[in-house]
């Protein structure tokens, strides 16, 4: 029989001795200790870490699980920091939302009760609402902090807690790390101040949605064209998540009348019964949507994840077959369309910019610069896009920004990924293309003809066990000390090392300082414009390789052949870097 871990026993005994822990929970702990020591050890051997983005973990009893006690303790730590930062204020305000996952509403209420007990004026959404609505509400209601209960696209066993600051973005440095310090100080549930008195809790009902919709409709760039093509056939799936509360209504407000919802996935269910993982990046999650799209001959399939901050799409190719676009392709289409329409409607003043993350396609930068619009690179994670918007507020005009992992935002009224507004602009782009007698696929190939074809792929290598982290660090060290000079017969002409903060031109051997804080990321640029990025995961025993290979596309008819060659280039790079896994 597996022995009880002593650290786990110590953590569990603290709960068993506490008068604040309910008897049902104590019974579960005792049963695990006696009958399932491996599960017990996993549940109690450590505290669930409050990382720079908040909490995320498997739900259940234990210090290393998402449950009401862990949520309350984390909230007390977060509250203590918020109070420190707002010590001059008479009233501190916060807002809380939640998604469709199991226990999300309960966790949201507990978070509200802790904040209310500490004297906060708390706004709590009455029913589940998407992450972008939480970000918007923070700014609209002039709140000091916010919390979104969600585990994004993780499997059904998970839930999470995302912490937001007064700018509407997730916590950034130094606040993120200082919040962690305060959370770590809450070592026992008895330190939590919680109340059942809801006097300080104000409920936000569905009437609040109108404030958000009023901003979204301002994003429309082709309302007259939508009127002409309001009947384009749109298929939408919320993947059992919050998108069902906002996306169909937003599309209707934009003027679209033919919205077909995947009914099986419109059911709010934290067990996500129709998909293994509610992730629009995965074909299996999109299969029901594609089936319906084929049946009704839809023009476009839209899918949002449970907290509706990311969008995946499927469109018809030249053969009329539905294909899934990746996040880079969707972001490129949106960036191109938005900037083109800004130019055609004379909106540019000369101080506009777009943003992408460093691992996102260089195509976004090319498109932006072709319209004389600056493009800024930021680290991976949408909170860094929000940080850049905050830094440039009042100086430059943010138009849009995106990342390869299916996140996009338009305008600055939301400071996180926003799949609601993205769905509206994607649908508008479809109507604009139809006005020109084209499809979205045609527009994508035209972009590739004009700017070049970038094909992207991601390889994640998981190395578990005690030596996993050491092996990953050794891989990074090897890339730094012995970087490749050539890959697939092409010179490595530039190396960006974000840990050393150096940007090396390998031809001149001259190095510039990268305008970024230190981060364990390294990038190799090839002579043809291709890019390889290497980044260890900050939360999992993984090392990630992002590939973006470049080719010129002269004729649309050549695309399929070129696409195959691009995939071969990626596989050749993987082989040369000895990344082939069994």
Catalytic residue among 135, 152, 220, 530: 152
Let me know: does 245 contact 128? Beta carbons within 8 Å. Answer: yes
CA dihedral 359, 365, 368, 371 (to 10 degrees): -170
The pair of three-digit structure tokens given for residue 253, joined into one six-digit string = 């407000």
Closest CA relative to residue 161, chosen from 114, 206, 120, 91: 114
Contacts of 329 (CB under 8 A, 6+ apart): 444
The pair of three-digit structure tokens given for residue 441, joined into one six-digit string = 């696929």
Pairing of strands 542-551, 531-536: antiparallel
- The beta-carbon contacts of 15-18 under 8 Å, at least 24 apart in sequence, are 15/63, 15/69, 15/189, 18/188, 18/189, 18/190
Bridge partners, residue 481, by sequence? none
Alpha carbon 293 to its chain's center? 26
Q: Phi then psi for 140, rounded to 5 degrees?
A: -65, -40
Closest CA relative to residue 98, chosen from 51, 145, 161, 141: 161
Q: Is residue 337 helix, strand or coil? A: helix
Name the strands in the sheet holding 259-261, side by side, starting at the edge strand that comes first in the sequence.
259-261, 234-237, 300-304, 311-316, 322-324
- The beta-carbon contacts of 249-253 under 8 Å, at least 24 apart in sequence, are 249/209, 249/213, 250/213, 250/216, 250/420, 250/421, 250/423, 250/424, 251/423, 251/424, 251/427, 253/213, 253/216, 253/217
Let me know: does 123 contact 112? Beta carbons within 8 Å. Answer: no
**Would residue 530 show up in a list of annotated catalytic residues for this protein?**
no
Helices (H), 297-372: 327-344, 363-370
Bridge partners, residue 54, by sequence? 51, 162
Provide the 8-state DSSP code for 206. Answer: G
Let me know: does 301 contact 322? Beta carbons within 8 Å. Answer: yes
Q: Which residues are catalytic?
A: 152
């Amino acid at each position: 029989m597996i022995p009880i871990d002593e650290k786990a026993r110590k953590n569990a005994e603290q709960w068993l001795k506490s008068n604040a822990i309910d008897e049902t929970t104590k019974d579960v702990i005792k049963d695990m200790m006696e009958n399932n020591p491996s599960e017990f050890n996993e549940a109690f051997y450590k505290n669930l870490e409050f990382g720079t983005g908040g909490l995320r973990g498997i739900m259940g009893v234990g210090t290393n699980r998402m449950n009401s006690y862990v949520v309350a303790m984390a909230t007390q730590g977060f509250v203590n920091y918020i109070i420190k930062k707002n010590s001059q204020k008479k009233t501190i305000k916060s807002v809380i939302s939640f998604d469709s996952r199991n226990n999300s509403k309960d966790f949201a209420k507990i978070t509200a009760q802790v904040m209310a007990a500490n004297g906060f004026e708390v706004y709590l959404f009455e029913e589940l609402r998407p992450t972008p609505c939480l970000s918007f509400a923070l700014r609209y209601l002039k709140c000091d902090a916010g919390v979104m209960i969600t585990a994004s696209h993780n499997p059904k066993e998970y839930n999470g807690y995302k912490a937001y600051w007064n700018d509407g973005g997730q916590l950034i440095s130094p606040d993120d790390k200082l919040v962690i310090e305060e959370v770590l100080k809450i070592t026992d549930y008895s330190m939590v101040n919680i109340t059942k008195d809801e006097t300080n809790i104000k409920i936000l009902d569905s009437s609040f949605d109108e404030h958000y919709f009023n901003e979204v409709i301002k994003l429309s760039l082709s309302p007259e064209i939508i009127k002409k093509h309001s009947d384009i056939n749109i298929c939408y799936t919320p993947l059992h998540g919050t998108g069902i509360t906002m996306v169909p209504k937003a599309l209707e407000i934009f003027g679209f009348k033919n919205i077909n919802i995947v009914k099986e996935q419109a059911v709010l269910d934290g067990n996500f019964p129709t998909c293994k993982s509610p992730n629009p990046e995965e074909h299996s999650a999109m299969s029901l949507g594609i089936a319906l799209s084929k049946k009704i001959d839809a023009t476009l399939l839209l899918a949002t994840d449970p907290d509706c901050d990311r969008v995946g799409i499927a469109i018809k190719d030249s053969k009329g077959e539905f294909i899934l676009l990746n996040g880079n392709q969707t972001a490129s289409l949106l960036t191109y369309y938005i900037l083109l329409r800004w130019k055609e409607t004379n909106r540019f003043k000369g101080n506009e910019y777009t943003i992408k993350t460093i691992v996102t396609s260089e195509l976004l930068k090319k498109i932006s610069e072709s319209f004389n619009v600056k493009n800024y690179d930021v680290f991976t994670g949408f909170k860094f896009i929000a940080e850049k918007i905050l830094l440039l507020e009042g100086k430059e005009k943010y138009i849009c920004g995106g990342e390869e992992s299916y996140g996009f935002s338009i305008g600055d009224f939301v400071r996180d990924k926003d799949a609601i507004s993205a769905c509206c602009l994607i649908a508008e782009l479809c109507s604009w293309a139809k006005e020109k007698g084209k499809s979205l696929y045609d527009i994508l190939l035209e972009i590739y003809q004009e700017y070049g074809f970038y094909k992207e792929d991601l390889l994640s290598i998981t190395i578990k066990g005690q030596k996993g982290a050491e092996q990953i660090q050794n891989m990074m060290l090897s890339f730094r000390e012995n970087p490749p000079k050539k890959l697939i017969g092409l010179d490595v002409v530039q190396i960006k090392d974000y840990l050393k903060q150096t940007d090396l031109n390998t031809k001149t051997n001259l190095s510039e300082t990268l305008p970024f804080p230190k981060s364990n990321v390294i990038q190799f640029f090839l002579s043809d414009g291709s890019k390889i990025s290497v980044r260890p995961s900050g939360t999992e025993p993984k090392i990630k390789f992002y590939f973006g290979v470049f080719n010129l596309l002269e004729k649309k008819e050549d695309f399929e052949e070129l696409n195959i060659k691009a995939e071969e280039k990626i596989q050749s790079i993987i082989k040369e870097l000895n990344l082939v896994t069994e």
